[in-house]
Chain A
Amino acid sequence: MTYQSDVILDLKGVPCPRNTAMAIIQLETMDQDEILKIIVDDGEPIKNVPPSLEEDDEYEIIARKKSDQGCWHLYVKVL
Chain B
Amino acid sequence: MPVFDKNKIFLDNAATTRPYDEVISLMSKMQSDNYGNPSSVHKVGVKAATQVERARLAIADTLGCSADRVFFNSGGTESNNTALKGIATNYSQKGKHIIISPIEHPSVHYVALWLAKIGFEIEILPVDSSGFVDPDEIRKRIRTDTILVSVMHANNEIGTIEPIKEIGTVCAENNVVFHTDACQSFTKTPLNIQEMNADLITLNGHKIHGPKGVGALYIKKELDIDPLLVGGGQENNMRAGTYNAPAIAGFGKAVMKSNSDDIDKVIGLRDYFIRILKDEIEGLSINGPLGDKRLCNNINLRVKGISGKKIFLELDKCGIAISTGSACSSGKTTPSRVLLAIGLRDDVANESVRISISKYNTMEELNFTFECMKKIIQKERKLN
- Which A residues are closer than 8 A to B by beta carbons? 14-18, 20-22, 24-25, 44, 48, 52, 55
Can you list 7 residue pairs at the A/B interface with Cβ under 8 Å? A17-B39, A18-B49, A18-B52, A21-B38, A21-B52, A44-B41, A48-B41
Contact indicator A17/B41 (Cβ below 8 Å): yes
In whole Å, how far is A33's beta carbon from the nearest beta carbon of chain B? 23
* In-complex Cβ contact of B53 among A16, A25, A48, A52 (8 A): A25
Among B22-72, those with CB < 8 Å from A are: 38-41, 43, 45-46, 49-50, 52-54, 57, 67-68
B38 neighbours in A (Cβ, 8 Å): 17-18, 21
* In-complex Cβ contact of A25 among B43, B50, B233 (8 A): B50
A48 neighbours in B (Cβ, 8 Å): 41
- Give 9 closest A-B pairs by Cβ, nearest first: A21-B49, A21-B50, A21-B53, A17-B41, A17-B46, A17-B49, A48-B41, A16-B41, A20-B46
Contact indicator B54/A17 (Cβ below 8 Å): no
In whole Å, how far is A48's beta carbon from the nearest beta carbon of chain B? 5
What's the Cα separation between A48 and B42 when bound, in Å?
Answer: 9
What's the Cα separation between A74 and B112 when bound, in Å?
Answer: 48
B67 neighbours in A (Cβ, 8 Å): 22
B40 neighbours in A (Cβ, 8 Å): 17
Q: Is the interface of B mostly helix, strand, loop or mixed?
A: helix
Q: A16-B41, A17-B40, A17-B41 are in contact. Are A25 and B49 (CB under 8 A)?
A: no
Q: Is B384 located at the chain interface by the 8 A CB criterion?
A: no
What's the Cα separation between A43 and B310 when bound, in Å?
Answer: 65
A17 neighbours in B (Cβ, 8 Å): 38-41, 45-46, 49
What's the Cα separation between A17 and B46 when bound, in Å?
Answer: 6
B39 neighbours in A (Cβ, 8 Å): 17
What's the Cα separation between A33 and B43 when bound, in Å?
Answer: 24
Q: Is B333 located at the chain interface by the 8 A CB criterion?
A: no
**Nearest residue, chain A, Cβ from B52:** A21
What's the Cα separation between A25 and B45 when bound, in Å?
Answer: 15
**Nearest residue, chain B, Cβ from A55:** B43
Q: Is the interface of A mostly helix, strand, loop or mixed?
A: helix
Contact indicator B46/A21 (Cβ below 8 Å): yes
Q: Is B259 located at the chain interface by the 8 A CB criterion?
A: no
Among the interface residues B45, B49, B54, B236, which one has the most CB atoms of the partner chain A within 10 A?
A: B49
What's the Cα separation between A44 and B55 when bound, in Å?
Answer: 24
B233 neighbours in A (Cβ, 8 Å): 15
A14 neighbours in B (Cβ, 8 Å): 68
In whole Å, how far is B377's beta carbon from the nearest beta carbon of chain A? 54
Q: A15-B233, A15-B236, A17-B38 are in contact. Are A22 and B53 (CB under 8 A)?
A: yes
B57 neighbours in A (Cβ, 8 Å): 25
**Nearest residue, chain A, Cβ from B51:** A21
Besides the known contacts A17-B46, A20-B41, 7 further A-B residue pairs in the complex with CB atoms under 8 A apart: A17-B45, A17-B49, A21-B53, A24-B46, A24-B50, A25-B50, A44-B41
B49 neighbours in A (Cβ, 8 Å): 17-18, 20-21
**Nearest residue, chain A, Cβ from B40:** A17
Contact indicator B43/A18 (Cβ below 8 Å): no
Among the interface residues A20, A21, A25, A48, which one has the most CB atoms of the partner chain B within 10 A?
A: A21
What's the Cα separation between A21 and B46 when bound, in Å?
Answer: 6
**Nearest residue, chain A, Cβ from B68:** A14
Q: A16-B41, A17-B41, A52-B41 are in contact. Are A25 and B54 (CB under 8 A)?
A: yes
In whole Å, how far is B374's beta carbon from the nearest beta carbon of chain A? 52
B52 neighbours in A (Cβ, 8 Å): 18, 21
Among the interface residues B43, B50, B233, which one has the most CB atoms of the partner chain A within 10 A?
A: B50
In whole Å, how far is B240's beta carbon from the nearest beta carbon of chain A? 14
A20 neighbours in B (Cβ, 8 Å): 41, 46, 49-50
In whole Å, how far is B232's beta carbon from the nearest beta carbon of chain A? 11
B50 neighbours in A (Cβ, 8 Å): 20-21, 24-25
A24 neighbours in B (Cβ, 8 Å): 46, 50
A15 neighbours in B (Cβ, 8 Å): 233, 236
What's the Cα separation between A33 and B76 when bound, in Å?
Answer: 43
